[in-house]
Structure 1
């Protein structure tokens, strides 16, 4: 868990979402909300299921997690939010501005701590566990390519 930068998090039996995370203090911290990644239901949840990958990209462990939200204006927020903000890649502007935006926009800083024994990790599955893509409104129709000259078919 110390090297994790991406974790797959499932809330309330929903699909697993790949989320950017920061490992600190034996926990994973995830930021979600406006202008950040979308993690529907994570900020309000009490429990989640976390899957981490190994060095070669395959899933190595799945464990139940206790979810706690770090609230802006608390000493905990003042300590942890700048540490998480400093690890954010491609952050627009300085870390202090990023943390202030998180607080002003209502972003959720969530701590995921292990909440029990790993569910998976001792006996890994033989198949890929790949799922078909979920429907998305981002799909658009593909146009036929423009051809300047008429193409003859044999």
Structure 2
């Protein structure tokens, strides 16, 4: 296995371990909520004037899937939709008080996970962080370009 494959495999393994380790606590504390619903609420809380398009782009889901999730969240009383007085066409979302409770639980769990993993991150130098961040930014931009390229191809095929 070359270094490139080792890096990709390493990222995948670390990500999968994090998901597996966090899964049980998340499910126990957020029972009855799917990860996609919780991440949708997280985005809505952290971004003003969240709409279906912004959610779909951020969560790498289709607009149709986001519409279904937001309708479920509205029915559960976790989010509400609103429109701006100057733009009656666009529909935006915000958390209800009940939604903010779920959001807070989710954020507290993330804090616990960060605290659990702090021992590793305390050993990383600023230079190492900067190097890793540069790599992630470069790789992310490459993947964005590939996504855009494939999106163009898909539109051309239609």
Q: Same fold (TM over 0.5)?
A: no
Greater strand proportion: 1
Q: Which has the larger radius of gyration?
A: 1
Structure scoring higher RCO (CA < 8 A, sep ≥ 6) equals 1
Task: Report the TM-score, using the length of structure 2 for normalisation.
Answer: 0.28
Greater helix proportion: 2
Task: Report the TM-score, using the length of structure 1 for normalisation.
Answer: 0.29
